[in-house]
Amino acid sequence: MVARATGVGAGAAARAAPEALLARHDAELRLLDTVRRCVAAKLKCDRDYALALAAVATQGQKGDRQEELQGSLVAQAWRSLMVELEGAGRLLRAGADALEARALERLHSLQAEKRRTRKQLQEEHGRLASRLAHLTEDVTRKKAEYQKYLELYRLMRSRFEEHFVKSGRSGRKLDETRDKLQKACRKLHLTHNEYVLLLSEAAEFEREYRAVLLPALLQRQQAAHEAFVTSWTEVLRDVAHNISFADEALAEVQRRADAAVAAIKPSEEYAAFSDKYKNASPVAAPSAFIFDDSLAEDSSGRLLPGRLAVDNLTVESLRNKMAELEAALKEAQPVAPATADGLEPPTANGRASDPAGGGGGGGSAAGSRHGSTASEAGRAEAAEARARERTLARQLELVRGALSEQSGEELPAGCDLAALDAAAAAAAALAAPPAPDAASVAGVSQGDATRPSTPAPGLPPQGDVSSFTLKRQQQRLANLLRRPFRRKSVPSTPVLGRAMGSRGGSVPADDDTAAAQVPAGGGGGGSGACGNGAGSNGGLAARALADEDWFHGVLPREEVVRLLTREGDFLVRQTTRNDECQTVLSVCWGGHKHFIVQTTAEGHFRFEGPAFPTIPELIAHQLQSALPVTGRSGAVLRRPILRERWELNNDDVLLLDKIGRGNFGDVYKARLKSSGQEVAVKTCRVTLPEEHRRKFLQEGRILKQYDHPNVVRLIGICVQKQPIMIVMELVAGGSLLTFLRNRAATLTQRQLLGMCRDAAAGMRYLESRNCIHRDLAARNCLVGYENIVKISDFGMSREEEEYIVSDGMKQIPIKWTAPEALNFGKYTSLCDVWSYGVLAWEIFARGGTPYSGMSNSKAREKIDAGYRMPAPEGCPDEMYRLMLRCWEYEPENRPHFEQIYLVVDTLFGAQR
């Protein structure tokens, strides 16, 4: 019994070995897939890091200006570091490329090889197990046959014995029972022999199976597995080598970088620079600080160039200045000599000698650097003190000398009013028509001929008038009497037509107007209220700002930048900063520049030039004068960017009923006042930040270029004032998801196929336009008349062949998103194909919830493990096979929307 039990246990173990090996194969295949995905992610990280290093190196090299840093060892070391950093990035990129060429391809090969090995094991083990099972069935069947013939033999024998007792040894019935007994006995004996032989065959095969065939199969598997593990080890070795930063090439980069830094010698860094500049002779070039003689020309000889004026107006201030200088000099004198005497003079190379008397190892390098720096700082402080002392002494000498010259003398008058009166009279005479005699030219009227001929200070005697030209006298007197202000001119107010010059015109400003500068009052207040446009006094001839085609309302800056493409393109918009509405002029000029329209105290508008009553007149002046908006920017207006046909005015849309709520605001049913057409309007909450408003308008920017019956149509965007609105066609049936759930009992299979076909047609169109929707689902589709389906909600869409997410995955619809997008953030149109498969499942499930009962993380985990949703009830087999093709793990194995549309259209046609 023990031996039998042991044999049974060994047989069970032998039968369990292939099953355990198959489970091991499955686990290794999952591990291979994980390794492959992780290696791919590692390669992406390496490439991104290499790009980042290259960007850092480029940025670092921009700061290197050769002409200023010529001969700088620090600059040379920095350049070397940036070169090595760039080289390290190239090495990382090359390593990633090499690893991709080796590891990823080999991992794909290993996966294929592992699948073949598993399939071979399954087939061989299945063949052996099938033969053993057949023998087992034959033995069981033969045993049953044996029992049947044994029962028959027993029956015939009992009958024969019964007749033999009753009738003796003769009789017809006895002979019949004898024949039957003989036949039963023959069948029993034959079956016995067959059963014995079959048992022998089965027992021998079972021994061969356990002792030879199964071990041989496992041995072949082990050999194949060892070769597989060897290849896998080489792949992991490549990965480990790529992970290691101890690579010889990177170590060489590190050594070169260390050598570049080690080449810096503080003692030589500024040696050449200092030798060039510090030894320059202080008298090598004349001083730039000299008195401008022309400043004293019109002072009537009272002020002399470079000399202090000592008169009754200045003597008191000069005496106070002298006292201040004496006090300052007295304070500075004790400091400078003590500081200078307490320091050791520098050596020939410009450095102080070692105060410790030389020797090595007296202190740390940091301590010696600190001592050297403190010593140099002390010498610099002493030099600065001596320079200040000399400056104070020179000023004191100048003031003392000027005051000593007037010592004991009567102080002159600083301002002679009588002389000024005489000068004014002379100026009036010069401004009048010339008289025939010389007296009028000299500024003396005929009625005053008897007055003494004492000349006014600064004017020549009357007899010397001929030595001065009339022009010289007019210039000097005009300078003397010039007022400290200018007449403020009134600027012209040209009107800018709707197409900037197509209608109307403006009178160019004259020279006086162009030169006038109207002071700005208050801050840049814009136009008062967002959407108003005209100034406080600009309602006469000027158009309202909102009526100008170059006024784009509250269009965000990102959208403005898209519109301004050529030098001189401009538009006007409004923005809100710190709860204050401001009008902004945006110009393309060496990049994109934005100028806030300033408001004067009078309520006019300006930049740096003249002010105008309205903003349209200001813009007309800037355009027609071709003057820069500001002198610093140099931006000149050339071409207005007019509103596009889809930019509607907010007042043209009448909001009716609220029909939903979106991520950015409410959704309304509305009516266009111009045509009476009913539309759907998405609004953007005013309180949202600028970034969210840009994302809101992104949907409108994408939709405006699409025209397809299965894509919701854009009618316009309202950005003239808050709130921003996107106006779209009103689709009567509303959300596809709600429609499916409400009509679940009445929808036919043909109608469901038609919805799938409509969605495929819309996505085929978007794929041809390189649009990645990224959020395809029943909730984001609309149902129109006759159950037509339209693709909607393009808030997450991108107009690219491939899009990499870099801002996290916070709002990603996990259950509708392809694995490569979830794992690597990489989106292509084939990701939309995966989402289409889920959408088709929703349609045939009549609004059911995908992966019902699973959390997002659980669904993602099961998808990676190979799980796919079962077919919804009533879904055609061909449609479910199409869903499974859409859910292929590898994107390249999925069909494109062109193929999807052909399949669904064929299925739809077959339903007629």
Question: pLDDT tens for residues 443-482?
Answer: 333 333 333 444 444 444 444 444 444 444 445 444 444 4
**Weakest mean pLDDT among 37-46, 167-176, 299-308, 502-511:** 502-511
Kindly state whether residue 703 falls inside one of the protein's structural domains.
yes
- Which of 46, 775, 793, 832 is an active site residue? 775
Residue 164 pLDDT exceeds 60: yes
- 206, burial (CB in 10 Å: exposed 0-12, middle 13-18, buried 19+): middle
Q: What is the pLDDT of residues 767-778, one digit of tens each?
A: 998 888 888 999
Say what the pLDDT of residue 7 is.
Answer: 44
Of 777, 794, 782, 776, nearest in space to 733 by CA: 782
Kindly state whether residue 548 falls inside one of the protein's structural domains.
yes
CA 42/CA 51 separation, integer angstroms: 14
Q: How many CB atoms lie within 10 A of CB 541?
A: 13
Using 50, 70 and 90 to split pLDDT, how confident is the model at 799?
A: low
Extended beta strands in 710-817, E state? 714-718, 725-729, 781-783, 789-791, 803-804
Q: Are residues 813 and 711 in the same domain?
A: no
Domain that holds residue 853: 736-910
Say what the pLDDT of residue 497 is.
Answer: 39
Q: Are residues 40 and 120 in the same domain?
A: yes
DSSP code string of 760-771: HHHHHHHHHTT-
Indicate the SS3 state at residue 473.
Answer: helix
Q: Are residues 536 and 669 in the same domain?
A: no
Say what the pLDDT of residue 216 is.
Answer: 81
**Weakest mean pLDDT among 594-603, 637-646, 812-821:** 637-646
Residue 591 pLDDT exceeds 80: yes
- Mean pLDDT over each residue of the chain, to the nearest integer: 74
Comparing 406 with 141, which gets the higher pLDDT?
141
Residue 279 annotated as lining a ligand binding site: no
Mean pLDDT over residues 280-286, rounded?
50
Residue 666 annotated as lining a ligand binding site: yes
**What total of structural domains would you count in the chain?**
4
Q: Are residues 740 and 618 in the same domain?
A: no
Residue 665 annotated as lining a ligand binding site: yes
Say what the pLDDT of residue 863 is.
Answer: 93
Residue 791 annotated as lining a ligand binding site: no
Pair 621, 610: CB distance under 8 Å: yes
Q: Are residues 78 and 227 in the same domain?
A: yes
Amino acid identity at 302: R
Say what the pLDDT of residue 166 is.
Answer: 73
Using 50, 70 and 90 to split pLDDT, how confident is the model at 719?
A: confident
Q: Are residues 747 and 627 in the same domain?
A: no
Residue 605 pLDDT exceeds 90: yes
Please report, rounded to a whole number, the percentage of residues in the chain having pLDDT higher than 90: 21
Q: Are residues 651 and 797 in the same domain?
A: no
Q: Are residues 202 and 56 in the same domain?
A: yes
Kindly state whether residue 419 falls inside one of the protein's structural domains.
no
421 is annotated as an active-site residue: no
Comparing 835 with 102, which gets the higher pLDDT?
835
Say what the pLDDT of residue 204 is.
Answer: 87
Cα→Cα distances 500→605, 638, 855, 863, Å? 18, 10, 59, 60
Q: Considering the entire predicted model, what is its pTM?
A: 0.40
Residue 659 annotated as lining a ligand binding site: yes
Comparing 808 with 551, which gets the higher pLDDT?
551
Residue 693 pLDDT exceeds 80: no
Say what the pLDDT of residue 509 is.
Answer: 33
Mean pLDDT over residues 618-641, rounded?
92
Mean pLDDT over residues 99-114, rounded?
80
Mean pLDDT over residues 165-186, rounded?
80
Strand partners, 571: 586
CATH of the domain at 828: 1.10.510.10
Say what the pLDDT of residue 688 is.
Answer: 75
Say what the pLDDT of residue 443 is.
Answer: 37
Residue 447 annotated as lining a ligand binding site: no
Mean pLDDT over residues 326-332, rounded?
81
Q: Are residues 83 and 193 in the same domain?
A: yes
Say what the pLDDT of residue 434 is.
Answer: 44
Q: What is the pLDDT of residues 517-527, one digit of tens each?
A: 333 333 333 33
Say what the pLDDT of residue 415 is.
Answer: 64
Kindly state whether residue 802 falls inside one of the protein's structural domains.
yes
Q: What is the pLDDT of residues 640-692, one digit of tens each?
A: 998 877 778 888 888 988 887 777 888 888 998 888 888 989 888 877 777 77
**Weakest mean pLDDT among 59-68, 798-807, 855-864:** 798-807
Residue 835 pLDDT exceeds 70: yes
Residue 2 pLDDT exceeds 70: no
Of 303, 305, 312, 277, nearest in space to 291 by CA: 305
Which of these three, 659, 694, 729, is where a domain ends?
A: 729
Q: Are residues 687 and 789 in the same domain?
A: no
Kindly state whether residue 195 falls inside one of the protein's structural domains.
yes
Residue 734 pLDDT exceeds 60: yes
Cα→Cα distances 406→308, 457, 558, Å? 12, 21, 72
Kindly state whether residue 466 falls inside one of the protein's structural domains.
no
DSSP code string of 315-367: HHHHHHHHHHHHHHHHHHTTHHHHHHHTSPPB-TTS-BPPTT-S-SSSS-HHH
Peptide bond preceding 494: is omega within 30 degrees of 0, i.e. cis?
no
Strands across the sheet with 714-718, in order?
647-648, 714-718, 725-729, 678-683, 666-672, 653-661
Using 50, 70 and 90 to split pLDDT, how confident is the model at 514?
A: very low
Mean pLDDT over residues 347-375, rounded?
48
Residue 667 annotated as lining a ligand binding site: yes
Which of these three, 729, 746, 774, is where a domain ends?
A: 729
**Weakest mean pLDDT among 249-253, 341-345, 444-448, 658-662:** 444-448
Using 50, 70 and 90 to split pLDDT, how confident is the model at 411?
A: low
Which of these three, 695, 729, 763, is where a domain ends?
A: 729
Pair 493, 501: CB distance under 8 Å: no
| DSSP secondary structure letter of residue 457 | T
Say what the pLDDT of residue 342 is.
Answer: 41
Tell me the backbone φ, ψ of residue 804, rounded to 5 degrees: -110, 125
DSSP code string of 829-851: HHHHHHHHHHHHHHHHTTSPPTT
Say what the pLDDT of residue 303 is.
Answer: 78
Of 79, 62, 82, nearest in space to 71 by CA: 79
What is the distance, to the nearest Å, from the Cα of residue 138 to the centroid of all Cα atoms in its chain? 73
**Weakest mean pLDDT among 188-192, 260-264, 594-598, 629-633:** 260-264
Q: Are residues 655 and 776 in the same domain?
A: no
Residue 294 pLDDT exceeds 80: no
Say what the pLDDT of residue 762 is.
Answer: 94
CATH of the domain at 660: 3.30.200.20
CA 520/CA 524 separation, integer angstroms: 8
**Weakest mean pLDDT among 57-66, 451-460, 470-479, 873-882:** 451-460
Kindly state whether residue 294 falls inside one of the protein's structural domains.
no
Sequence-distant (≥ 6) Cβ neighbours of residue 196 within 8 angstroms: none
Residue 641 annotated as lining a ligand binding site: no
Say what the pLDDT of residue 542 is.
Answer: 38
Comparing 380 with 4, which gets the higher pLDDT?
380
Say what the pLDDT of residue 339 is.
Answer: 42
Kindly state whether residue 253 falls inside one of the protein's structural domains.
no
* Sign of the alpha-carbon torsion through 309, 314, 315, 318: negative
Say what the pLDDT of residue 528 is.
Answer: 36
Comparing 250 with 890, which gets the higher pLDDT?
890
Q: Are residues 571 and 518 in the same domain?
A: yes
CA 889/CA 442 separation, integer angstroms: 106
